[in-house]
Amino acid sequence: MSTAKFYGIGVGVGDPEMLTLKAIRAFKELDVVVLPEAKKAEGSTAYEIAREYLKEGAETLFVEFPMLKSVEARKEFRKRNADMIVEHLKAGKKVGFLTIGDPMTYSTYVYILEYLDGVIPVETIPGISSFSDMSSRFNLPLVMGEESLKVVSLNGETDIVGEINSADNIVFMKVSRNFDKLRAGLEATGNLENIIMVSNCGKETQEINFDLTKMEEEDIPYFTTLILKKGGINQWKKFIS
Amino acid sequence: MSTAKFYGIGVGVGDPEMLTLKAIRAFKELDVVVLPEAKKAEGSTAYEIAREYLKEGAETLFVEFPMLKSVEARKEFRKRNADMIVEHLKAGKKVGFLTIGDPMTYSTYVYILEYLDGVIPVETIPGISSFSDMSSRFNLPLVMGEESLKVVSLNGETDIVGEINSADNIVFMKVSRNFDKLRAGLEATGNLENIIMVSNCGKETQEINFDLTKMEEEDIPYFTTLILKKGGINQWKKFIS
């Protein structure tokens, strides 16, 4: 029997070639593969990426992190998921939590770490985050020289103009439900032309937009990210196809 | 003869296992391997990581990006480097620019892109950035839930308190020459206990510090990064050894 260990493993956002050698080495060790999902039985992109490297007989464990309004209800789900994982660890198993993108960047993996005691060894293996994938895919620099970079997950309370004023380059995530306000903020600060907005990045349904003026909030897909480069974006368009 | 193509390839910050499959596939294609260095003949960590995957007879091209005060002089070096690379591309070669960390995050790779015309194909392959490597190495979440993340490269003009007030989690890079000011800003905003500072991350000389009070600016190594988590850091220390 192997010795208990908990892994958080980033698998990138979809392209299996974004896996690191370290992730692949870890896959081969796992007794239990934990796959987070927002809805029950929605399937797992992370599993599709990892499956060819997993050892025969590795167990899969789907854990649900539903987007509930009640903080208490969300915590209850997290606790239940952590308990299931700890049970496997206490049985001496190697358990790996697979995460889209990077495990330390907006991942539910952290909600399991919160419940661990620090005695069972933990190894986190970084992955290519969604914004890093997107910037390389379009040959668009995220941040250069003495500039700053900010990553903002939009919600109803975000002070958009404040965020725009606070950095040289800003990645806005969760754009779909906040599109009108974001566009208004970009217009108010004279930044409408300094952006690229990408929906369903890397998928067959990928859409790239530089001009937001005629778009409607209701048409923006859920997986939409906008990058603002206050130094301008025109000089980089030559590489974006 | 292969068809001309320019690659920017992130190799992570030192651990060869942080290479992606995509980077390895690209290494095998390269006719010319471009290795940036800040000082002439300083050697190349990127080359050490990549060398076992390169095809036999691949040419290496060291390009110097010295840290000169004059912007004009820096631009001259960049232009000369770009010219050398374009010459190889015009000869129909596949040329790969290797970069520590991620090519779109504070890399000199971008200074070559600026001189390309968009006709020769460009492929950028992301890598694990220094701050992503550091957060995973210490099992320390970079950003969770609805929080924001900011990355700041410190210089003499940085408004440190302004930066601290502008995000939930902040990665401060280039700490060494700005340590006293940074510590004062952390103290003024009540954040002295919410930080981890790491020097020479991942190297034999690695140092981890949580308490800045007795440190002296002149003792801080050049490769030092500080992560501020305004939500507190104590709950994560159990995983940091």
Cα A197 from Cα A225, distance rounded (Å): 6
B58 Rama sector, left if φ>0, alpha if ψ -120 to 50, beta otherwise: beta
* Burial class for B82, CB neighbours closer than 10 Å (0-12, 13-18, 19+): middle
B132/A126 touch (CB, cutoff 8 Å), yes or no: yes
- DSSP string for residues in B98-122: EESB-TTBS-THHHHHTT--S-S-E
Tokens of B181: 């000011």
pLDDT tens across B3-37, in order?
Answer: 999 999 999 998 999 999 999 999 999 999 999 98
What does DSSP assign to residue A57? T
Number of C-beta neighbours around residue A171 at 10 A: 24
Q: Do B21 and A16 touch (CB under 8 A)?
A: yes
Using 50, 70 and 90 to split pLDDT, how confident is the model at B152?
A: very high
Chain A residue whose CA is closest to B19: A20
In chain A, residues 22-41 whose CB comes closer than 8 Å to chain B: 22, 24-25
pLDDT above 70 for B118: yes
Picking from A15, A104, A118, the nearest residue to B135 by CB comes out as A104
Question: With bands split at pLDDT 50, 70 and 90, how would you rate the model's confidence at B139?
Answer: very high
Contact B146 A125 (CB under 8 A): no
Q: Tell me how far apart the alpha carbons of residues A147 and A229 are, in angstroms, rounded to a whole number.
A: 10
8-state DSSP, A23: H
E runs forming strands in chain A: 5-10, 32-37, 59-64, 94-99, 122-125, 148-153, 169-173, 195-199, 207-209, 224-229
Cα–Cα distance between A19 and A13 in angstroms, integer? 10
Written as tens digits, the pLDDT of chain A (241 aa) is 559 999 999 999 989 999 999 999 999 999 999 999 877 666 788 999 999 999 999 999 999 988 888 999 999 999 999 999 999 999 999 999 999 999 999 999 999 999 998 899 999 999 999 999 999 999 999 999 999 999 999 999 999 999 999 999 999 999 999 999 999 999 999 999 999 999 999 889 999 999 999 999 999 999 999 999 999 999 999 998 7
**According to the model, what pLDDT value does residue A56 have?**
95
Task: Determine the distance in angstroms separating the CA of B220 from the nearest CA of chain A, rounded to an integer.
Answer: 20
CB proximity B82 to A under 8 Å: no
Tell me whether B124 touches chain A (CB under 8 Å): yes
Domains in chain A with CATH codes: 5-128 (3.40.1010.10), 131-239 (3.30.950.10)
How many interface pairs between A and B have CB atoms less than 8 angstroms apart?
A: 166
